[in-house]
Structure 1
């Protein structure tokens, strides 16, 4: 019988397996994990959670990320990874890229106003999340 390698699993399941291997404990019956503990696990693992996919929307918008399963209200979903820059730096960087529609920036307020530039973060889904206020996108800033 062939042993399953970690590459046979999805990214989320690989992270769980790696975590279990590190602690040396057997799998335990799953129980509800608090959103803060869940967020810390996925952020430190550097992986996206299962249950999302990138889809092409149109030539104006480009790509977006969509949930492929239901999540509980208040649950941790994805980490937005990139360089933290000021709004002024974001404006300078996006001026040349705006014509090509090749920039991914998330504007947020935390200890002042900041922007996360995910343009060069190619392996994470959250850069395709819409941060438009009119679409009621909610987020919570966390620091680990």
Structure 2
């Protein structure tokens, strides 16, 4: 009879999130890939994740609602999508992830219909952190997505979708 190695206990997803948030680093198991000129880059899984697992932190500068309003006045439209509003300890705050800092969370794309992760506010040493947790099992090669929550995003417009489909058809005719 062969000796079996005891299985290592799986770390609690919330503790896993706290660990990586306190390090200020992304965990391994993800890759950045270019998708297309409209969507840009996205984050893809390189391994399996189970439903409930901590995936990635959405890092950036935590700012007040007033500071967010000031920045929205000067930011180009392409940078405004990196603002994430949330409530923490009764305050309305925002994470501004507009600055390219090498972190993965800012590159996770929107999926309003079938997201595979969900953003949750997690407190670490009294400070808020935005953490993505798997809504379902995720396999290697799958893009990590979450529902941004805003219904007025331009890429969700039916006019845009039909226009994009027509552009694709026209490209194939060339």
Distance change (3 Å), C-alpha of 1:140 and 1:55: same
Query: Displacement, 1:51?
Result: 1.0
RMSD, aligned CA: 2.7
The gaps in structure 2 that reach 5 residues or longer are: 1-6, 125-174
For residues 94-141 of structure 1, give each alpha carbon's deviation from its aligned partner in whole angstroms, at most 9, with x where no partner exists: 455435x24522333443543211122512111111355444341211
Q: Secondary structure at the match of 2:118?
A: coil
Q: Return the match for 1:49 from 23, 27, 32.
A: 27
Distance change (3 Å), C-alpha of 1:85 and 1:74: same
Q: Secondary structure at the match of 1:140?
A: strand
The gaps in structure 1 that reach 5 residues or longer are: 1-28
Structure ID, larger Rg: 2
Q: Which has the higher strand share?
A: 2
Q: Match of 2:14?
A: 36
Q: Match of 1:125?
A: 104
Number of aligned residue pairs: give it: 116
TM-score for both structures, normalised by structure 1: 0.64
> Is the contact between residue 106 and residue 131 of structure 1 (CA under 8 Å) also seen in structure 2?
no
Distance change (3 Å), C-alpha of 1:119 and 1:52: same
Q: Match of 2:120?
A: 140
Q: Secondary structure at the match of 1:43?
A: helix
